[in-house]
Amino acid sequence: MSHFLELRGIKKSFGEVQSLRGVTMTVDRGEVIGLLGDNGAGKSTLIKIITGYYQPDEGEILFNGQRVEHLTVPRARQLGVETVYQERALADQQSLWRNIFIGRELTTRFGLMDIQRMRAETQRLMQDHMGFTSTAVTPDSPVQTFSGGEKQGVAIVRALYFQAELIILDEPTMGLALSETGKLLEFVEQVRSAGKSVIFIDHNIFHVYEVADRIVLLDRGRVAGEFRTSDLTLNDLLDKMRRVAKTGSLD
């Protein structure tokens, strides 16, 4: 069976800066991948290529073994890629329901927005998944009034609503309270047991090690190493990361 996602020799430059110098990696169903690397290693560029935000200069992207030419954001979302961005990707002054349905507003037969349904779906998501119990928050509340954790809840629920096959979490624990971080790691477990895939990017190696099946170590635009977390201890991982940071390779 083919991989859910396969990247082959992905290269991307911005002017003089070579951000990715040939990245090859795979993501399987039900797999949690931890993507690690220093600032400037190319993590953000790589995920923005997977989400269709950037087009690679060279290389191939395959979903379920099928090559996808010119991957755009709507196309990637159609293929089941959902992203919870570090910056949350919310529009602060807009209502909760508008944020949930950004770019994929439900419409009626007449091509107009089905506002009633979008508000109702938002209400359901709030009760079942977001843990909003206060009556002060409604589907019409602007998200600028929400806390950091609540905003992230919105971004995650948005990813879930559209039945993601692959959820990319970009620095998801940043700015979260401890209890919120615990909930997030639980959430990753749930997604895995539902047979979906996750790419987890975090500065906190301990979080990544805890939930990931496999770790992909990125350095200066290349894959410096790949490990199963079952094959190495946390200390081994830290060692390897230090070596890569110093020398640029594992050996």
Partner 1 sequence: MMEHAITHPAPAPTLRTRVRRNALQIGIFVVLLLLWGVFIVAAPRTFLAPEIYASFMATVPFFGIVALPLTMVVIAGDIDLSFPSIMAVGVVAFVLVFDSTANVWLAFAACIGSGFAVGIINGLIVVRLGIPPLIATIGTQFFWRGVILIVTNGRSEVLVEPKNSPLGQMLVGKIGDYVPMQMVWYILIGIAIWALLNRHRFGAHTYLTGDNVNSARLMGVNVDRTRILLFALVGAAAAFAGLVASLHVTNFFTTLGEGYLLTTLASIFLGGTSAFGGVGSILGTFIATFIIGSINAGIVAIGLTGFWTQLIYGLIITVSVTMHTVVRRRVG
- Other CB atoms within 10 A of residue 187 CB: 19
The answer to whether 150 contacts partner 1 (rule: CB under 8 A) is no
- Other CB atoms within 10 A of residue 120 CB: 13
Among 66-74, 184-192, 221-229, 239-247, the segment contacting partner 1 (CB under 8 A): 66-74
The answer to whether 194 contacts partner 1 (rule: CB under 8 A) is no
37: Cβ contacts below 8 Å, ≥ 6 apart: 43, 217, 218, 219, 224
Minimum Å gap between C-beta 83 and partner 1 is 7
Q: Show the beta-strand stretches assigned E in 97-241.
A: 166-170, 197-201, 214-219, 222-228
Of 9, 66, 113, 195, which lies in the binding site for partner 1, with binding defined by CB under 8 A?
Answer: 113
Among 55-63, 107-115, 226-234, 239-247, the segment contacting partner 1 (CB under 8 A): 107-115
Of 16, 69, 87, 231, which lies in the binding site for partner 1, with binding defined by CB under 8 A?
Answer: 87
Q: Show the beta-strand stretches assigned E in 64-165.
A: 66-67, 81-84
Minimum Å gap between C-beta 96 and partner 1 is 10
Residue 157 DSSP SS3: helix
Is 141 or 181 the residue whose CB approaches partner 1 more closely?
141
Interface mask toward partner 1 for 24-63; x: CB under 8 A: ---------------------------xxx----------
Of 19, 44, 45, 83, which lies in the binding site for partner 1, with binding defined by CB under 8 A?
Answer: 83
Minimum Å gap between C-beta 65 and partner 1 is 24
Of 21, 104, 183, 220, which lies in the binding site for partner 1, with binding defined by CB under 8 A?
Answer: 104
Of 115, 185, 232, 238, which lies in the binding site for partner 1, with binding defined by CB under 8 A?
Answer: 115
| Residue 251 to residue 101: CA distance in whole angstroms | 47
Is 162 or 227 the residue whose CB approaches partner 1 more closely?
162
Largest CA distance in the chain: 62
If we measure between CA atoms, which residue out of 24, 23, 55, 35 comes closest to residue 221?
Answer: 23
At 140, phi and psi to the nearest 5? Answer: -95, 0
If we measure between CA atoms, which residue out of 28, 46, 27 comes closest to residue 36?
Answer: 46
Of 2, 55, 144, 190, which lies in the binding site for partner 1, with binding defined by CB under 8 A?
Answer: 144
The answer to whether 123 contacts partner 1 (rule: CB under 8 A) is yes
| Residue 183 to residue 190: CA distance in whole angstroms | 11
Output the six-digit token pair for 242.
């230090």
The answer to whether 238 contacts partner 1 (rule: CB under 8 A) is no
Q: Which residues bind partner 1 (CB under 8 A)?
A: 51-53, 72-74, 77, 83, 85, 87-94, 97-98, 101-107, 111-113, 115-117, 119-124, 127, 138-140, 144, 161-163
